[in-house]
A and B are shown apart, each in its own frame.
Chain A
Amino acid sequence: MGLSLAYWVVLLLFGMGLYCILTESNLIKIAVGINVMEAGLLLFLVRLSYSPGDLAPLMGPTTGPGIADPIPHALTLTAIVIAASTTALMLSLIIQIYRHYGTVDIEEIRSKMQ
């Protein structure tokens, strides 16, 4: 089973997010990196439950072949809520840090802390 395009996109997003977190020194970019990484994971979760042509489990039979698995979608929704709230908290912390140090660059903040 070769990897379909969707899985490559997942890998790319996850890798890009992680790379961004590890290498960037701008706090906002790190927050963006975390979001990109989480987006990759969520896409993975959605993709796992669906293969082309599947029906939505709404009417008639709700499980079985040819019907998409609804659980990952419910999980994704929960994970999106968590990701949104962590992002909000992270951004509010960054705003407070900016008020203290006048910059969002890690290196500059570190030098001002000394």
Chain B
Amino acid sequence: MSHLPILVIAIPLLFAFLIPLISMLFPSVRRITVTAMGLVYAGLVGMMIWGYHAMGVDRVIYPLGGWGPDVGIVLELDALSAAFAGIMGLGILLVILYSQDYMEAAESKYYVLLFIVASGIMGIILTADFFNLYVFIEMSAIASFPLVAVSRRGTALFASLYYMVFTLVSSALILLGIILVYAATGSLNMGEVAAVFDTIPELTRASIVGSFVIGLSVKVALIPFHSWLPPAHAEAVSPISALLSGVLLKNGVYMLMRLLPIFGFGDGSLDVRTLLLVIGVLTVIGGNVLAMGQGNVKRILACSSVAHMGYIALGIGIGGALGFAGALFHSLNHMLMKAGAFFSVGCIADGSFELSGLRGAALRTRPAGITFAMSTAGLIGLPPFGSFASKIMIMFAAIDAGMIGIAAVLPAGAVLSAIYYGRVYQVLYAPSEREPDDVSISPWQTTIVLVVTAVGSIATLVWAGNLARIFATIADYLVG
């Protein structure tokens, strides 16, 4: 295990600031260097997860600078952190590899910001300290604002600012929650707070849980706090859309899963589970209905992200290990499929993503035309794709808990999404009058990324049994 927990945070930060230096001194090797850095980052994350797995303990505590949890800040790696580190690490690696062809002319700043996001995300996942969590949230968020505006178009600049205002308000609410936690318990260590949380007065407890849940709902874009998401995800360049949807939304999901059990789901003072169920139903239906009214492929994908965050909120809200495990599993699937869909659509369309101008476009691109169909079919929830399994898991959790109405929302959402993706297919796969030999083939590195996402979304169904067992163990450990 050694020093890997701090290395996965520190090394990408070092890389971030080495990139401008390298591209200034040796511009010809920038591409290969960035690829190597991405692979090293993913390798470190993989080694950390492997090391954790090999140790066979519940949690690994890494005291920073040798100071224990009583005086210092510690990093903590447990099963939930390991699972999310895997999901996010893979997502970041895919974004970095895809960016190199797609953003060939990008300035070095682009990769600087990307690696800062990579570092901040690992910080969020690994820290066991509330205030440190806030710092890492802000670190990954601040680096992502300029990434949205990277195309420098007016609409992208405005979308970036809009996203920024919402995110800053949500961080302020999270900071308010953290301040209240410190005032009520005198500690910022998550373990210590969890131990004494029951003894806090009822009203304080409700305010803490309330500010965290609202703050995180804005981050995860649950309706009614979703309006920042469609413009930001649609106006960003395609690899960044994949980063925002596939990776950064999962930040909020991770924090919900990490913090709600610490707060005992606010039992007794504020019923978070019911709140999440109500918001979840609204979000699934609302997100899908929003997507129907859009004429832009990336906006459709963005609105469908809102709906998928609703499925995850339902999984958490249903409570019990099965719902939690389903939500975890769906996070993995959504990362693969939504990132895959955004990557593919970036290859299919150049410049404009309006449906009207994309007649037959998917037939003229290989392999993006095929992977787009696979990723979006996965997003609908069709077999043989992984999200079929995770949605079934969440549905069974709802039936187990006697919430038949909630269980019915999932197939309803799938039908709604089939309608709007059907409309997209009709246009993108329409036979066109153009010459059939007018086919563009993606560069090999992009092709690898596309194939990994598409094959991955099937692999998660093939290994659904094993994955479900792993996620169920994590959920058991978290919610008992």
Select from chain B the residue with minimum beta-carbon distance to A79. B175
| B415: interface (CB < 8 Å) | no
Which of these, B135, B155, B157, B169, contacts A96 with CB under 8 Å?
B157
Interface residues on A, range: 20 to 34
Q: Which residues does B use to contact A, with CB under 8 Å? A: 131, 134-135, 138, 142, 145-146, 149, 152, 154-155, 157-158, 160-161, 164-165, 168-169, 172, 175-176, 179, 182-183, 188
Q: Judging by beta carbons under 8 Å apart, are A94 and B161 in contact?
A: yes
Contact status of A97 and B161, CB under 8 A, knowing A86-B142, A113-B154: yes
10 A-B pairs with CB atoms under 8 Å apart are: A30-B165, A34-B168, A71-B188, A78-B131, A82-B135, A93-B145, A93-B160, A96-B152, A101-B154, A109-B158
Select from chain B the residue with minimum beta-carbon distance to A17. B172
| A15: interface (CB < 8 Å) | no
Contact status of A90 and B154, CB under 8 A, knowing A21-B169, A85-B142: no
Q: Judging by beta carbons under 8 Å apart, are A48 and B182 in contact?
A: yes
Select from chain A the residue with minimum beta-carbon distance to B152. A96
Q: Judging by beta carbons under 8 Å apart, are B149 and A96 in contact?
A: yes
Give the residue among B155, B158, B160 with the most A Cβ atoms within 10 A: B158
List of B residues within 8 angstroms of A41 by Cβ: 172, 175-176, 179
| A27: interface (CB < 8 Å) | yes
Which of these, A44, A89, A97, contacts B145 with CB under 8 Å?
A89
Q: CA–CA, A18 to B218, complex, Å?
A: 14
Q: Which residues does A use to contact B, with CB under 8 Å? A: 14, 18, 21, 27, 30, 34, 37-38, 41, 44-45, 48, 71-72, 75, 78-79, 82, 85-86, 89-90, 93-94, 96-97, 100-101, 109, 113
List of A residues within 8 angstroms of B135 by Cβ: 78, 82
For the complex of A and B, 3 pairs with smallest distance between CB atoms: A100-B154, A93-B161, A82-B138
Q: Judging by beta carbons under 8 Å apart, are B169 and A18 in contact?
A: yes
List of B residues within 8 angstroms of A44 by Cβ: 176, 179
Q: Judging by beta carbons under 8 Å apart, are A100 and B172 in contact?
A: no
Q: Judging by beta carbons under 8 Å apart, are A90 and B164 in contact?
A: yes
